[in-house]
Amino acid sequence: MTERSYRLGDIANALGAELRGDPDVKVSGLATLQAAGPDQISFLANPSYGKYLADTRASAVIVSPASAKDAPTNVLLLDNPYLGYAQLSHWFDPAPVATPGVHATAVVDPSASIAEDACIGPNVVVEAEAE
């Protein structure tokens, strides 16, 4: 799998966040405040996790304006940090691309009409005359 990395400036623009920090810093993953490393981004949405913010090793954190003063690193300001983090999660773990074909465990009736670019997954049953 190819590792993806994104510039903070591009992330801020896509999320509609205000960036306080270096727009050229690249991040290549997501993690919790406690587990994040220097190439990752984290977030703080629940104030009970605020105690971990000062010690995070993340390259950037997504926080609300009220929490920004406590961040030791680059900051992306959003009113809803959790939503921003959820949106960003799709950048690093996109939906898998389906490969056309019929899975070995699928059962397709010979009279069924299947498009050449269709993806028939595991344990699927395609009945007679299906289109």
Query: Quick one: how many helices (H) and strands (E) in the chain?
Result: 2, 11
pLDDT in tens, 104-125: 999 999 999 999 899 999 999 9
What pLDDT score does 93 carry?
Answer: 77
pLDDT band for 1, please (50, 70, 90 cuts).
Answer: very low
Domain ranges of the chain: 6-92, 96-131
Residue whose entry in the numeric block shows the structure tokens 């609300």:
64
Q: What is the CATH number of domain 6-92?
A: 3.40.1390.10
* CB under 8 A, 24+ apart: contacts of 107-113: none
Q: Find out whether 22 and 38 touch, Cβ atoms under 8 Å.
A: no
pTM: 0.71
Which residue from 31, 45, 130, 108 is spatially nearest to 79, judged by alpha carbons? 45
pLDDT in tens, 18-41: 999 999 999 999 999 999 999 999
